[in-house]
Amino acid sequence: MKENQKPKDKKQKKPRDFESIKTILLLIVLIICIVSSIAILYFSDKENEERELAYTELISAINAGEIEKIEMTTGSANIKVIMHGEGEEKDREKMVLVPSIQAFMELVQDKVDKEGKEIELKQKPINPVLRISDTLFSLLPTILLIVLMIMVFKMQGLGGDSGKVYGGEDGSKSPDVRFGDIAGLDEEKGELIEIVDFLKKPQEYQEMGAKIPRGILLYGKPGTGKTLIARAIAGEAGVPFISMSGSEFIEMFAGLGASRVRKLFEKAKKMSPCIIFIDEIDAIGSRRTSNSGSETENNQTLNQLLVEMDGFDTEETIIVLAATNRPEMLDKALLRPGRFDRQITIPAPDLLGREAILKLHSKNKKFADDVDFKTIAGDTAGFTGAELANVLNEAAIIATRSKHKQISNEDIENAVKKITVGLEKTNRVISDKDKKLTAYHEAGHAVVSKFLPTQTEVKEVSIIPRGLAGGYTMYKTNEDKFYVSRTELLEKMVALMGGRAAEKIALNEISTGASNDIEVATGIAKDMLTIYGMDDTLGPISLKVDDPYEIQIFGDKVIDQVGNQIQVLIDNAYETAQKILLNNMDILDKVAQTLLEKEKITSEEFEEFFRV
C-alpha cells in the first residue's frame, strides 16, 4: 500500500532491441559454428575409420586373394585398395598406410587374386586440386572459428559504431531542436547560450585569446531534459550532434571501449565544429579502481577519454557535453580544468516550469475546457519533464479508450495516478478480510496525517487496488520546497506509520501491506542520521554507509549508534501514530467504514469527519 504519490525515480531505460537481436544472432552463429565443427570432425573421423585398413590386414587380404586393384599416388604412403566382393566399388575401397612403398611394391609383385588374375597396380600423379580441397576440408573447423571471431569483433564494434550523428528531419546536419522547445530551465539556458555563440563564431573567441570550454557536465535525474538541452545547443548553433551512451563503451573485450572513444573523437574532429554528447557518463567515468580484473577495461576507457579531452587542438571547435544522474560516482580527474570543468545542474521543474512543460506538450492534443494546467502542475510536484510529457500522453490514451471527444481533467488525474501508483485494478477479487485491513490501513494514514501540522491535506483515499498497492492515500502538494525541516521529516515518518498502527489497534493484526511504508520511513531515518546530520547524539556528520572506507574511518561504535538511533526514530514515530489513533478511534472507524462502503473518499468527504 502506497502512502504517498511521488513518482518513482526510475531510470528510463532506452530500448535495446537492436542489441538483443545482435546478441541472439551472435549466439546462433556461435552455435552453428560449434555444431558444424564438431560434425565435420566427427564424420570425417568416422568415415576414415570405416575406410581404414591396417597394413597387416592388407597383407592377409593380399595372401587370401581378396584384393582386386591397388591405386597409389606418387609421393604418398597412403594407398587405396579395392577389394573383391559385393556392393559398389566405393564400398570396397579401403585406405592403407604402408610403412615402405618400395618394400610393398616388391611384396605385391606377381601376386594374384582369388580368380587367378594379377592384382592391378595403378600409379597416379598428385592431383593438386584434390590436395588443396583436402587441406581446406581439414582446415574447415579452424576457418569457421576464425570467421566467428571476426564477426564477434565486428559486432562488438571494433572499428564499428563510434557515435551516432543526429541531423535535422529536413536532412540538415544539425538537430532541429531549439531552446524554444525546452520549457522552463531559463537560467540553465541562459548559461548555455554562450556555448552556442562559441560554436557559431569560434574565430572571434580565438582571436581574442579566449579559451573555448571543452567539456560541460549536466547533472540531473533521468528525464529532466539533459539530452534535450544538448540537442538544442547543437540545433541553435547549426552544428552536428554526435551522441553516444556511456554504456555503449562497455565491451566484452579489453581495449575495445578505449578504441571506441578514440574513434568517436576522430569522427568529431572531421565534423568540427560539432557537439559530442555522452549520456550516462558514469558508466565509464566512475572512479578508477586498482588495475585488476574487469575494472582494467573500464579504467582504460576512462583514461582514453581523458587523453582525448586533453588532446584537442585550439582550432578544433568540439564541445563535449556529458550527462549523469550520479555525479558523486565520477572520477575527480574528469572534472579538472580543461576537461568537464563546467558543471550545470538540471533540476526537476518547479511549479511554473511544470506548467510551462505541460503547455508545451499540450500542443497537438485536444483538451476539454475544464482542464487547468496550473492545477495539474500543482498536483505533480517532483515530476520531471519526461514524466509530465508522459502524463499528457497517457491522458490522451485514456481519453481515446473511454471514447471521450477531448481530454478531460479526470483523464489527466487518472493518468497521474496511473504513473504514480499504477493502473486501477477494479476487477481484482479481494476478500472482505483484506478489504477491511486495507480500509483501516489507509484510514490510519489519512487520520494520523490530519493531526500533523507539517503534512499536506489529504486529496483522496482509496481501497481500489492500483499497481502493486492494495489501496492508497494521496496528499495535496501545494508548494515546491527547497528545504525540508527536521520536524517535517519526523512527522512524515509518523504519517507513514499510521497504516501499520491502525491495523494493530483496530484489528489486532499486522500485515505485509505496510512494507513500503516501513521501507520509506527507515530510509528517511537513515538519511536524517547519515546525510542531514540531524541526530543529537551523532551530531552533524555525513557517513556513507555503503562505503567500506568510511565505515572503517568511523568504526563499529558509530555504525552501531546509527543502527540504534534509526530504531529510536522509528519507534517514536510508531508510538506517536498509535497515540493519535487511540485518541481518535471514532473517526478512524468512521473513515474505514465509509471506505468499505464507497471504496474512495474525496478530500471534502474526508474533511467532513472532522467537523463537529
Q: Which residues are catalytic?
A: 442
Exactly one of 83, 182, 234, 463 binds ligand ATP (CB under 6 A); which one? 182
What CA–CA distance (Å, rounded) separates 612 from 17? 60
**Interaction with ligand ATP in 285-324: which residues (CB under 6 A)?**
323
**Interaction with ligand ATP in 373-402: which residues (CB under 6 A)?**
385-386, 389
CB 204 within 8 A of CB 240: no
Q: Phi then psi for 274, rounded to 5 degrees?
A: -160, 175
CB 235 within 8 A of CB 174: yes
CB 405 within 8 A of CB 366: yes
Question: According to the binding rule CB under 6 A, does residue 357 interact with ligand ATP?
Answer: yes
Exactly one of 175, 220, 235, 273 binds ligand ATP (CB under 6 A); which one? 220
- Whichever of 11 and 600 has its CB closer to ligand ATP, that residue is 11
User: Which residues contact residue 118 at a Cβ distance below 8 angstroms, ignoring those fewer than 6 apart?
Assistant: 110, 111, 112
- Whichever of 231 and 263 has its CB closer to ligand ATP, that residue is 231
Question: According to the binding rule CB under 6 A, does residue 449 interact with ligand ATP?
Answer: no
- Whichever of 72 and 322 has its CB closer to ligand ATP, that residue is 322
Helices then strands, each counted (H, E), the chain: 20, 14
* Chain centre distance of CA 332: 24
Per-residue x/- track, 239-258, ligand ATP (CB under 6 A) = --------------------
Question: According to the binding rule CB under 6 A, does residue 570 interact with ligand ATP?
Answer: no
Which contiguous run of DSSP H or E holds residue 165?
strand 164-166
Question: According to the binding rule CB under 6 A, does residue 48 interact with ligand ATP?
Answer: no
Question: According to the binding rule CB under 6 A, does residue 273 interact with ligand ATP?
Answer: no
**Interaction with ligand ATP in 523-542: which residues (CB under 6 A)?**
none
Exactly one of 222, 238, 327, 378 binds ligand ATP (CB under 6 A); which one? 222
The region of 77-85, 215-223, 501-509, 513-521 touching ligand ATP under the rule CB under 6 A is 215-223
Cell numbers that stand for 377 in this block: 502542475
What CA–CA distance (Å, rounded) separates 378 from 371? 13
What CA–CA distance (Å, rounded) separates 563 from 565? 6
Question: According to the binding rule CB under 6 A, does residue 12 interact with ligand ATP?
Answer: yes
Question: According to the binding rule CB under 6 A, does residue 184 interact with ligand ATP?
Answer: yes
Question: According to the binding rule CB under 6 A, does residue 226 interact with ligand ATP?
Answer: yes
CB 95 within 8 A of CB 53: yes
Total residue length of the chain: 612
- Whichever of 390 and 438 has its CB closer to ligand ATP, that residue is 390
CB 63 within 8 A of CB 175: no
Residue 420 CB, nearest distance to ligand ATP (Å)?
A: 17
- Whichever of 247 and 303 has its CB closer to ligand ATP, that residue is 247
Residue 217 CB, nearest distance to ligand ATP (Å)?
A: 13
Cell numbers that stand for 532 in this block: 542531514
Residue 389 CB, nearest distance to ligand ATP (Å)?
A: 4
Which contiguous run of DSSP H or E holds residue 465?
none
Closest residue to ligand ATP using C-beta atoms: 385
Cell numbers that stand for 242 in this block: 554526435
- Whichever of 275 and 452 has its CB closer to ligand ATP, that residue is 275
Residue 572 CB, nearest distance to ligand ATP (Å)?
A: 38
CB 472 within 8 A of CB 496: no
The region of 70-78, 178-186, 368-376, 477-485 touching ligand ATP under the rule CB under 6 A is 178-186
CB 100 within 8 A of CB 151: no
What CA–CA distance (Å, rounded) separates 518 from 496? 7
Amino acid letter, residue 569: L
Exactly one of 175, 223, 444, 471 binds ligand ATP (CB under 6 A); which one? 223
Binding interface with ligand ATP (CB under 6 A)? 12, 182-185, 220, 222-228, 279, 323, 325, 357, 360, 385-386, 389
